Amino acid sequence: MYRMYLPIKVIIMSVAIVSLVCTPLYAEFGYKDVYLYDEKTEDWVLLEPLDDIAYMIVDYIGAGGDSSGSLSVRGTLDILTSPVQSKGSRTFGILGESESLSYSNGPLTIAVTPLTDNIAVDNGEDWFVLPGTGNYAEWQFVYTVTNLGDVEMKDIEVSDNFGGELDVKDSDGAWLATPSKGEVAISHSGAMKKFKFKWDNFVLAPGESASLTIDLKLGKNPAGHQEYTTCGEVYDLNSGGVLKFRWKGQQGKGWASYEGEAFKVWVPCSPPSFCVSLSATGTEWYIRKPGHYYTKMLEGEVSATSNGTIAVTFSKFDNLRSVGSSQVIPVFYALKDGEPSDSDWITPQYLNENLSLELKVSATTTSSWGMWQRVNLDTQSPGMYSNVGVITFTLVNSQPTYVGE
């Protein structure tokens, strides 16, 4: 877990203050676009940089930043045992919500779904991820054959070979392999007991489908150790699968044939770590006239050494309070990449108590997010108003370790 303290200040300026602070601030900080609400047109108007009505700057970190001035914070964390629960979450990133992978080739479709929740799916690589060695895991394979033609399919046969580390699950002496039509024969051979099957003895009318469901588990090697025993490797779950059949009325002895695909699982060695890059470490408003103003105060990007979820939560955000009096400036926030609409703005209290982000990342992809701030200035006295909010980044583990059945 990493916490980022974000100082936020508003300075309501008199004419004299403007001339005193412009030069050093311009040299040391970065300016952001500021929008002012025009009550006559009911539109938000982009102000010119260094406008004498209002402008906003962001504090860039001096040491350790990259060429763009972003703050990079790297942390290697203990993996949690359960996901972070949030009352309202928004998902960003490229890892898909689906927990399965599938492949189709003509009339043949193969879908593979994890049965244990220590398996993740990296849609960028199209493989499964099972962190660490010696972790028990299960998958379910579903083979579906669909007659896409206008005549009957006959002499249908589907076969596949599974990786030597996998066993077909059984219950009360019966293999967990269930066809909707036809018969399936399960066999294994060799010291590793490599499993294979043949599914046949059924026909399909035009438009009709049939499926075979097989449950598999990671077995143990001949020495009695739980697979997988070597990390840093990509393993094949199956050889790919083949569908063969003939059409009713077909002349000759030829077969139509369609190949499936080999599904893979990556077994990384080290626990995942993540890196957070923030475009700014603080914001400062300089406002002369009453009005409603907003800007994109912060942009963040998260990367990781493995696929997973980074939870971003918020605390201690509040309205801006005067340093020398009890006066308050109302503040609103929006969390999105593009410009916010009226319905996107939320109070600091709602941000703290009800909202979080879930950023999906992998070893080859990043996830980004934006934070917008709106201030409503009325008749508050000149002076400095401030607030310090806390952004917490947590690497969420939804992949518990299994030691066996």
* Yes or no: domain 97-267 corresponds to CATH 1.10.150.120: no
Q: What is the pLDDT of residue 48?
A: 65
Q: What is the pLDDT of residue 75?
A: 22
As beta bridge partners, residue 334 has 372
- Tell me the C-alpha distance between 387 and 391, whole Å: 13
Residue 348's CB is within 10 A of a number of other CB atoms, namely 21
Q: What is the pLDDT of residue 324?
A: 76
Q: Any idea what the Cα angle at residue 4 is, between residues 84 and 281, rounded to 5°?
A: 140
**Closest to 95 in 3D by CA, of 396, 402, 371:** 396
Q: State the span(s) of the chain assigned CATH 2.60.40.740.
A: 97-267
Q: What is the pLDDT of residue 194?
A: 92
| pTM to 2 decimal places | 0.51
pLDDT in 10s for each residue of the chain, 405 residues: 444 445 444 444 332 222 222 222 222 334 456 666 677 887 777 766 544 555 454 444 432 222 222 232 222 122 122 333 333 333 333 233 347 899 999 999 999 999 987 888 876 778 998 878 888 999 999 999 999 999 999 999 999 999 999 999 998 888 999 999 999 999 998 777 899 999 999 999 999 999 999 999 999 988 889 999 998 899 999 999 999 999 998 887 789 999 999 999 999 876 566 777 777 666 777 777 788 888 888 888 887 766 677 888 888 888 888 877 888 889 999 998 888 999 999 999 999 998 888 888 776 778 888 889 898 888 778 878 888 788 887 776 544 444 444
**Closest to 34 in 3D by CA, of 319, 284, 323:** 284
- Tell me the C-alpha distance between 142 and 42, whole Å: 57
